[in-house]
Amino acid sequence: MTKPDLSYKEIENPNPSTLTAEQVSSFNEHGYVKPFAAYDGEGANQQRAYFDRIIRRVQEERPDLDSYAINGWHTACRGIYDVVMNPLILDHVEDLLGPDFLAWGTHYFCKLPHDPKRVAWHQDASYWPLTPARTITAWVAIDDADRGNSAMMFMPGTHRQGHLKWHHVEEQVVLNQEVSDIEQYGEPVYDELKAGEFSLHADMLAHGSEANASDRRRCGLTIRYCPPSVVPIHPGWGSNGILCRGSADGSAWTFPPVPEGDNIQARIEAIGGN
């Protein structure tokens, strides 16, 4: 199998349209920028109600699935597709990726009240059969996310340090790779967001979150954007995308039709155990 290129490529955009030049520079240095508004108060309420409906249906029909099961549903559910294509998000992403880019993945990370699972410190691109590492993640807050209910944490600058040493973990974790001795890389920054806001981070930035010890839920939707020059190494990884802006002609990516509604049943039946 082709070994992925996990190096960071400096973003060069001296005249961004939505971000400031300082924000682009900060992304290059720290690996993230935040916060930005994707939805106003009413829009945030609508997004929360939409997720509530989907997760309720999942729990009714597949009680064996947990609150993290809604993964990759953007080509089956029009509601998730519409978040991916929110022009306010795309405007910010374009300043970092350029005029041609797609979204290849989405995942609701929903920590229920008193959820004992943590998301171990990890680098996203370490999991993905994609090369080179050029994906940017938008983390869209469905609920308010703060230190009290286990907001995501970033370790600034780690995206510039290559593939960090990691080890497997198994108990009470959402993901099973954990960066070793994370303390050596500095002090974490909390990705505190109000519902309807979003952050952007590089796919090699180390990040994670603790168990949610609070009485409040903490849900966010991750959206994975990349330029069409990124190549899927495994078959099938290039066939579940959404062309967001520009062109992907000549690339390895194909795009299914825009979903007309929310085909939740098809996704539930396809998941298997979790």
* DSSP, residue by residue, 167-189: EE--TTBSSSEEETTGGGG---E
* Total domains present in the chain: 1
Give the separation between CA 132 and CA 159, rounded to whole angstroms: 13
- Let me know if residue 118 belongs to a domain: yes
pLDDT in tens, 59-105: 998 999 899 999 999 999 999 999 999 999 999 999 999 999 999 99
- Residue 1 belongs to some domain of the structure: no
223, part of any domain: yes
Query: Is residue 112 situated within a structural domain?
Result: yes
Residue 178 or residue 147, greater confidence: 147
Residues 6+ apart with CB under 8 A from 192: 35, 145, 146, 147, 151
Residue 132 domain boundaries: 31-271
Residue 272 pLDDT level (bands cut at 50, 70, 90):
very low
Residue 7 lies in a domain: no
CA 209, CA 211: separation in Å to the nearest integer? 7
Which SS3 state, helix, strand or coil, does residue 116 take? coil
The CATH number of whichever domain residue 45 belongs to comes to 2.60.120.620
Residue-averaged pLDDT of the chain: 94
Q: pLDDT digit string (tens) for 135-162?
A: 999 999 999 999 999 999 999 999 999 9
Residue 131 lies in a domain: yes
* Per-residue pLDDT, 274: 33
Mean pLDDT computed over 155-177: 86
Peptide linkage before 132 cis (omega within 30 of 0)? yes
15 lies in some domain: no
User: pLDDT per residue over 93-105, tens digit each?
Assistant: 999 999 999 999 9
Is residue 174 scored above 80 in pLDDT? no
Residue 1 pLDDT exceeds 70? no
Side-by-side strand order, sheet with 189-190: 119-122, 207-209, 153-154, 189-190
Q: 26 lies in a domain?
A: no
